[in-house]
Amino acid sequence: MKESDLIYGIMASLGKEEYSIVYMKYLLEPFNVSDSSLRTTLSRMMEKGLLKSRKTGRLVFYSFEEKGLRIRGNVSYSFHTSDWSKWDNTWWGYVFTIPSGDKNLRYKVRTKLEKYRFVSLYPGYWIRPFHESEKIDEKFNDLMNSGYGHLIKVEFISELTKEGISELWKIESVNEDFETGLKHLNESILKLPNVDPQEAFRLKMLIGNEIVHLLFRDPLLPKCFLPNNWKGEELRKLFSDWEKAVNIKAELFWNI
């Protein structure tokens, strides 16, 4: 787990408005992060626009910058599924052309599309089922105003098959990884009664980071495209139950 991910995860999960450097050092004790490494990582996160700082006397406080808050919102996108019961087989499509030499722009566009669970149907043409509640048109405002692509709504005359969808979104692989995540959560639940608050906090961050990354892979698709043994909702529910249990133990460590 990268130190930047760990720091970001701590700040996002504890939900405090700001963190002093002293408090941050304390929270990172279970992870053996050195003072110099902490300061270097914080500086890099500020350079990337994730964090901002303020100084009171000799004490420095850190909080999320606008970009950091936006990423936190994107992460929370993974923790719910829309009601697809009235889905009418309408799809979002994003069509774009980017000069082959502009790798940075191509990376930016692909990252945005992947973040909102679009997949490439053809080169330069990415799709995802349309659901009004996801507000994709608002979230893609920057791409729509960029001049190098168009967000469209389409219906396929020849419907995409369940097998084809499974291959595009790698459903079987994702489901196998979800099963691994369920196993790790259940193992952690068994350990909780026997760990102290500091170890509970360490588990909260390490296991929590694993599950958040797994949930980010959930394609959030209509049920008709998912296998009967789909583990997405089960993983979300167990993660919620696990987090409540681990927080009861771990808060004795972070609430100093």
pLDDT, tens digit (0-9, with 9 covering 90-100), for 66-117: 988 888 777 776 677 889 999 999 999 999 988 777 888 888 889 889 989 9
In whole angstroms, give the CA distance from residue 31 to residue 231.
30
Q: 165, 168, 111: which is closest to 139 by C-alpha?
A: 111
Last-in-domain residue among 158, 180, 211? 158
Rounded percentage of the chain residues whose pLDDT exceeds 70: 98
Mark 16-30 as b/e (b = at least 16 C-beta within 10 Å): eeebebebbeebbeb
CATH number (domain holding residue 58): 1.10.10.10
Last-in-domain residue among 44, 73, 102? 73
Instruction: Name the pTM for this structure.
Output: 0.88
Residue 85 lies in a domain: no
Residues 150/94, Cβ–Cβ less than 8 Å = yes
CATH number (domain holding residue 95): 3.30.70
Do 64 and 117 fall within a single domain?
A: no
Do 189 and 245 fall within a single domain?
A: yes
Number of domains, the chain:
3
Sheet holding 91-96, edge to edge: 119-122, 125-129, 91-96, 149-154
Residue 163 lies in a domain: no
Residue 79 lies in a domain: no
Residue 62 lies in a domain: yes
Range of the domain at 16: 3-73
Rounded percentage of the chain residues whose pLDDT exceeds 90: 76
In whole angstroms, give the CA distance from residue 34 to residue 157.
59
Task: Measure Cα distances from 99 to 89, 93, 103, 122, 152 in Å.
Answer: 32, 20, 8, 17, 21
In whole angstroms, give the CA distance from residue 183 to residue 176.
11
Do 242 and 177 fall within a single domain?
A: yes
